[in-house]
Amino acid sequence: MSKTLTEVARELKDANKKVQLIYAFNGTGKTRLSRAFKQMVVERSDDEEASDQPASSRSKILYYSAFTEDLFYWDNDLALDAEPRLRIQPNSFTNWLLGVLRDLGQDGNIVRYFQHYTSDKLTPHFSEDFSEVTFSLERGNDETSGNLKISKGEESNFIWSIFYTLLDQVVNARNVPEPEDRETPDFDQLEYVFIDDPVSSLDENHLIELAVNLAGLIKASSPDLKFIITTHNPLFYNVMHNELGLSKGGKKEGCYLLARLEDGTFDLSVKYGDSNKSFSYHLHLRQVLEQAIASDQVQRYHFTLLRNLYEKTASFLGYPQWSGLLPDDKLAYLNRIIQFTSHSTLSNESVTEPNLQEKQTVKFLLDHLVANYGYWQQEEAPGA
């Protein structure tokens, strides 16, 4: 049954489960769901002052999403191009967050986590008030590079390292039974942690490690602290599913597939199992592409979905390269078309609407895949 995001958030809140793990494609609405859930947790009564909301929010829920990353921005020192620094937008949440980490002396742990996922030479330096960060390459011989502007992927890693360090402190503090014995009272009222797609710029090995570490924190946390994790990454979902033991004992509840319907509403359905095959990942991609073709709504992002479908199918069937599934007589041409349209970075290639020939190529390649690789029929057979 279709739902609004607010209704999906209500369903997650009413489920009252320790962990809920949600898979959804990019663009489905995971980040907006995190906001809707936050509002659901911190519903304002008529007589509640608006100024109380930030404190009320952070006392009940912590969340990591694209909005979290938006709180960090670069001052690039345009005049001299010599002292770029990552500034932290001051507001009630960041003032509290950084104040807690500063008071608990956690800057060293943030650096350690960050360097683990990037390089032990790339070193963040917090200002005294934790309002900004500079980065340098430490060469180990008393030489330093001076201030550097790090990449977007490294920046995402750094912001996640701050959040993960905070979460580690939350779990450790909440595991002390008596509140008066805890290192800080700041986490005593916390009820939920909502995490939307942690760092996607990591390679597979580090992404697996991140998932294992996060699952370990969740398992070590007190029973009254609840977690909602959303992701578009099948590997991250797979590792979290298995590390949290969600497949044991025939468990099915708490694992979901979030889909956005054509009318703008949403469907939250139970997801069975941990793998792409078990929740019909391939079939879902095929359905999305078939619907776009049938309604003449093929857009450039459908080439990315088509490439993804070829990659997953090749992996499923044991082909070393996804291009091995392309028609032999047009392999080079079609490979170039998919590569170009799904990875173009040129501004003049960013037009959403593909031309007629490109739309026909999507249909041709989908038909070729369905007609020539028999596992589709096996997947769709009754009782399969």
How would you write 248-310 as a 3-class SS string? Answer: HHHCCCCEEEEEECCCCCEEEEECCCCCCHHHCHHHHHHHHHHHHHHCCCCCCHHHHHHHHHH
Non-local CB neighbours of 76 within 8 Å, separated by 6+ positions: 84, 149
DSSP state, 197? -
Non-local CB neighbours of 360 within 8 Å, separated by 6+ positions: none
Cβ atoms of 272 and 279 within 8 Å: the answer is yes
* 251 shares its domain with 374: no
Which range is most confident: 98-107, 117-126, 137-146, 341-350? 117-126
Per the model's pLDDT, the better-predicted residue between 157 and 347 turns out to be: 157
| Tokens (6 digits) for 199 | 């760092």
Rg (CA), the chain: 23
**Residue 83 domain flag:** no
Give the length of the chain. Answer: 384
* 222 shares its domain with 291: no
**Residue 255 domain flag:** yes
> Amino acid identity of 155?
E
**Residue 56 domain flag:** yes
CA–CA dist 239, 248 (Å, integer): 14
* 266 shares its domain with 284: no
* 284 shares its domain with 263: no
Residue 111 is predicted with a pLDDT of 95
**Residue 173 domain flag:** yes
Residue 122 is predicted with a pLDDT of 93
Residue 259 is predicted with a pLDDT of 85
CA–CA dist 344, 158 (Å, integer): 27
Which range is most confident: 195-199, 299-303, 337-341? 195-199
* 34 shares its domain with 163: yes
Residue 241 sits in which domain range? 5-74+94-119+151-273
CA–CA dist 72, 88 (Å, integer): 5
Q: Which burial class, exposed, middle or buried, applies to 310 when counting CB atoms under 10 A from its CB (0-12, 13-18, 19+)?
A: buried
Residue 81 is predicted with a pLDDT of 61
* 175 shares its domain with 45: yes
Q: What is the domain count for the chain?
A: 2
CATH number at 199 reads 3.40.50
Per the model's pLDDT, the better-predicted residue between 306 and 276 turns out to be: 306
* 358 shares its domain with 215: no
CA–CA dist 90, 237 (Å, integer): 33
For the whole model, what pTM was predicted?
A: 0.70
* 264 shares its domain with 285: no
* 290 shares its domain with 247: no
Q: In 3-state terms, what secondary structure has residue 185?
A: coil
